[in-house]
Structures are given as structure tokens and as C-alpha cells.
Structure 1
Amino acid sequence: MVQNNNYQEMTLASKAKLLTDLLNLESVRVTKYQNLSGIGLILHLEILTKEAYCSSCEKN
């Protein structure tokens, strides 16, 4: 049973990594996700920086 649980965690981690790569947002990581029937994919994100920058003027 423990091996199966570890396998599921590794699979979730690898899928979260794939979703992070697909998003391609600097300093943003997908920590977990939910696929809700009839709604879609809900991503739980972690912001890896403490500052935000305006994409128009590049000021923080």
C-alpha cells in the first residue's frame, strides 16, 4: 500500500511539473491541481518571488 501511495504522489508531482512547464509563467509553480467534471482544471499555484512587476511598464 505504501508503494502505491508513493507512486501516486510521484505521478501527481510529475503532472504538476508538466502543468508548470505548460503555463510557462516566470516564478510561478503548480503545486497541485483538480480536474472537476463539468468545470475544468483548477490549478493551485505558488508564487516564487516576493515582488510583482507590471508587464506594461516593467515597474514593481
Structure 2
Amino acid sequence: MEKLQRLLAAQGLYRGRINGRFDWRVEDAVSEFQYDRGIDDQEWGFYGPVTRKALEG
């Protein structure tokens, strides 16, 4: 989870603490990333394989 937080922070989407917890801030950042990238084939805020590939790629 810390890796996800760091990746989102590097995109300027997450401004919370790097603490390894999936809270509302992380969920909002994931949703924003999905919206910005046009990822709409999975639930907003869900860090699934499509979102993971786009964020880590």
C-alpha cells in the first residue's frame, strides 16, 4: 500500500501520509487517476489490474 501511495503522490494526486493504509484519501486519489486516464472499466477508487498497469507502467 505504501508503494501505491508513493506512486499517487508522484502523480500529484495523493497528499496524505505514507502509512500503508487504504483510506478515503487513497481511494479519492485512485478515482482521480482513473478519471484523468479514462479508466472506466472498473469501479471508481478500486485499485485493480487495469489501474495498476496504468499507474505502474
| Shorter-chain TM-score tier | 0.3 to 0.5
TM-score (norm 2): 0.34
Which has a greater percent of helix?
2
Which has a greater percent of strand?
1
> RCO (CA 8 Å, sep 6+): is it higher in 1 or 2?
2
TM-score (norm 1): 0.33
**Higher gyration radius (CA):** 1
